[in-house]
Chains A and B, each alone.
Chain A
Amino acid sequence: MSLRLLVCIPSRFGCLSCQHDSTCSCDAAKKTHHVINYQRTQTEILQALRPKSNFLLSNVVDKHRLSPLQQGTEAVAVETETTAPRDYRFVMPEFLPNADYRYRDRVLEKLERQDMLRRRAVIDIPEFYVGSIMAVCVSDPHAPGKRNRFVGICIDRSGQGLRAHFVLRNVVDGLGVEVMYKMYNPTVLSVEVLKLEKRLDDQLYYLRNCPLEYSTFDFNMDPVILPRGSQVPVNPIKVKLNPKPWEYRWERFNLKGIEPISLTPKMIKGIEKSAEPWRQNDLMMMYRSQVHEEEETEIMAEVYKEKHRIDSQKKTSRAAQRKNK
């Protein structure tokens, strides 16, 4: 009877107890567990070969964090008292997390925000936009005086969380220079905005293919002070592109900040080919490419409250310093 326990032998080799062939129908032949079935149906094979998710979705993890059975780990508190201004996400876009739901995590985002706000309490990172003219001072072991100050126009701003960065462009000795600065790098000593303004486009990489005069800024430029309470001005300048060759096919990007290009038939064909008009109507794609509004208000309320606290703290400390003098 002990032969019945030989469970790993596939049934196609027949029944063990009665010595019959594979067509035997006695009970012992059917009791086969843990058999690797090589003769699967097509649907079974497809089911088995399908990628299986060996990770949990973030909503399941959040449920576990809030479960009453869970002890020892605190849940993330949600800010409900204050509300941030409506366009606050344009002021500090790096506080919004990655929109891809697979890479979202509440705790990670919270801890990152905490670090970012701590850094913002140490150095002043002012409000700026793509198109603003900025001056950044960093500590640099190779520079004379171990400090390097760079002035330029902000041509790009991206990255989420502690990875946020911006790119400055200027002309040094007749050569275009671009420097990428990480916003939360501790070697950044100061960030100044010399002229706060916006441009017509989200990225100004086309300045690489424009005459150098459009990206030349004086290193000793005086800061332009806007009247209190005024809106951020938009610079409507339209730059003139150099003749080809270009870095990219700029005619395909629907840029507003460049002078109209005289299109060749080949260019028109390319524009038609690369156009994706269905994107405007793909509601699901739009929904997935941005953080939901409720989450955005939660996050921005927290940031706004903390920023307000830091600013008021700085004000009081400045007032105290003045008194001591």
Chain B
Amino acid sequence: MAAKSLYSCMRSAQTTLFVSGSCTLRSLLPSSVTCVQQVRHRRYPAFIVRPSIRKPWHVRKWTTKSDGDLIASNEAFVKDVLIDKYTGVGKVESPLKDGPWERNPFVHGTRRTGVLALKLGTTEQYTKEGNVFTVTLLQVLDNHVINYVPPEVYATYPSHRPHQGEKFGLQIVGALSCDPRMFSKAYNNLFMKAGVPPKRWLTRFLITPNAAVQPGTPLCVNHFRVGDHVDVQSRTRDWGFQGVIKRWGMKGMPASHGVTKSHRKMGSTGGGGDKGGIWRGKHMPGIMGNRLSVQHNLKIWRINTKYNILYVTGPAIAGLPHTFVRVSDTLIPTRRIKEEDAGNLPMPTWYPEDETEPIPEELFDEQLFRFTDPSVEITS
């Protein structure tokens, strides 16, 4: 709790800074946080560049250190050692050796972990009636569970939100194994317990404790069923600093008729009188994109188990191809997985030992047209 209280007092100190402007140091301390004078307009800094605001508990990821100029044979030897370390005989200690964790049935209110996928692009599919629609392909590539944090531990974390209570734990999932030499020591240490190579991307899912997955477990596309609905979260394309026409779709001003130097400007910023001044939230130029966007309630139409592909409805998943997306069971109440439908749901995730028969390469939704079928004949 110590870390949390310290963080909260830091935050309050910072907010005071903006309120009281140039103040003495004494007033920053938690003992004298009371702000006496009311301030009309909150002062904002000239620049807030979002990506520079790092969470204090994040460790540095990349490293600039390198082995120098290794000759080709030495480089190959180091690579062989690394591969052997994670896949071969001298494998690192994996927590899976201790035997699997207890598996619980799916009950009402259970939240399972999600997966990290790569957006590949969009294509078209047809329904059995011959109607065309767009699908996005998501590849679940090289996913592993890195850690599980139980709810009582998560409640002491600075990132914990009080309204969540002690209901949810954290499941940390990583994707795309990399050469550990790319990363800093602190980042590599995060993967020691799980016994997997360091991952290019890490994320966390809020889960209920009955759906916890053991660290070191690989996740694959069979975690989901065809016909279920998922929520997909990804970052939008980064456009950098953009003007109002591109960022907010404003009209600008005419190209001629006496207009000079303001063809792409925004015009008026507000009215006068009692409610005068620039209102908060006024659409202005600034950094556009690179923010999280969620698409709720997307149906899984088709699954390819060979290449680990999900065919998800719609073209609306944000980002260019090869963006990382977080895919998890939908939270929309009407589409959420119900206890009575959860008979063949992999819980907490899919294990290859569960399958008695080899799983088919492709799984289709009932309403989806398969290209091996004959043409659609309309009779009625």
Contact = CB atoms under 8 A, between A and B. Distances in A.
Contacts of B54: 34
Contact of B46 (A38, A49, A115): A38
Contacts of B323: 54-55
B304 interface: yes
Given A54-B235, A107-B139, A146-B378, A186 B373 contact: yes
A51 B236 CA distance: 12
Interface in B21-53: 25, 28, 45-49, 51-53
A61 B177 CA distance: 11
Contacts, number: 192
A46 B14 CA distance: 26
A281 to B, nearest CB: 30
Contacts of B370: 118
Nearest to A142: B378
Interface stretch (B100-108, B166-174, B305-313): B305-313
Interface residues of B, number: 75
B351 interface: no
B314 interface: no
Contact of B375 (A102, A112, A115, A122): A122
A115 B121 CA distance: 16
Interface string B82-102: 110011000000000000000
Interface string A62-93: 00110111111110100000000000000000
A108 B304 CA distance: 11
A105 B137 CA distance: 11
A95 to B, nearest CB: 14
B83 A122 contact: no
A36 B241 contact: no
B319 interface: yes
Interface string A32-62: 0110111010000100111111111110110
A76 B272 CA distance: 64
A182 B319 CA distance: 27
B308 A73 contact: yes
Contacts of B371: 115-116, 118-119, 122, 184, 186
Contacts of B120: 105, 107-108
Contact of A118 (B10, B220, B321, B372): B372
Contacts of B139: 73, 107
B295 interface: no
Interface in B344-380: 369-380
B10 A72 contact: no
Nearest to A188: B375
Contacts of A146: 377-379
A273 to B, nearest CB: 17
Contacts of B319: 54-55
Given A71-B218, A107-B139, A9 B121 contact: no
B17 interface: yes
A167 B28 CA distance: 71
Interface stretch (B64-72, B123-131, B335-343): B123-131
Contact of B6 (A5, A40, A163): A5
A313 B276 CA distance: 78
Contact of A13 (B17, B49, B379): B17
A209 interface: no
Contacts of B110: none
B132 interface: yes
B142 interface: yes
A16 B371 CA distance: 70
B250 interface: no
Nearest to A20: B25
A49 B83 CA distance: 38
Interface in B173-192: 176-178
Contact of A102 (B289, B307, B321, B369): B321
Contacts of A37: 52
B23 to A, nearest CB: 8
Contacts of B200: 64
Contacts of B220: 72-73
B114 interface: no
A212 interface: no
Interface in A88-120: 102-105, 107-108, 110-112, 115-116, 118-119
A64 B10 contact: no
B240 A123 contact: no
Which among A69, A103, A123, A163 has the highest number of chain B CB atoms within 10 Å?
A: A69
Contacts of A144: none
Nearest to A12: B22
B322 interface: yes
Contacts of A40: 47
Contacts of A116: 371
A54 B307 contact: no
Nearest to A22: B25
A70 B144 CA distance: 11
B90 to A, nearest CB: 15
Interface in B190-221: 197, 200, 218, 220
A118 B304 CA distance: 16
Contact of B123 (A48, A58, A163): A163
A73 B374 contact: no
Contacts of B140: 73
Contact of B126 (A9, A110, A185): A185
18 contacts: A8-B56, A9-B28, A36-B53, A49-B287, A54-B323, A55-B237, A61-B118, A69-B86, A69-B142, A73-B140, A108-B120, A118-B370, A139-B378, A141-B378, A141-B380, A146-B379, A162-B124, A185-B132
Per CB-CB distance, the 3 closest pairs between chain A and chain B, nearest first, are A51-B240, A118-B371, A187-B130
Interface of B: 6, 9-11, 13-14, 17, 25, 28, 45-49, 51-54, 56, 82-83, 86-87, 118, 120-121, 123-126, 130, 132, 137, 139-142, 176-178, 197, 200, 218, 220, 235, 237-241, 287, 289-290, 304, 306-309, 319-323, 369-380
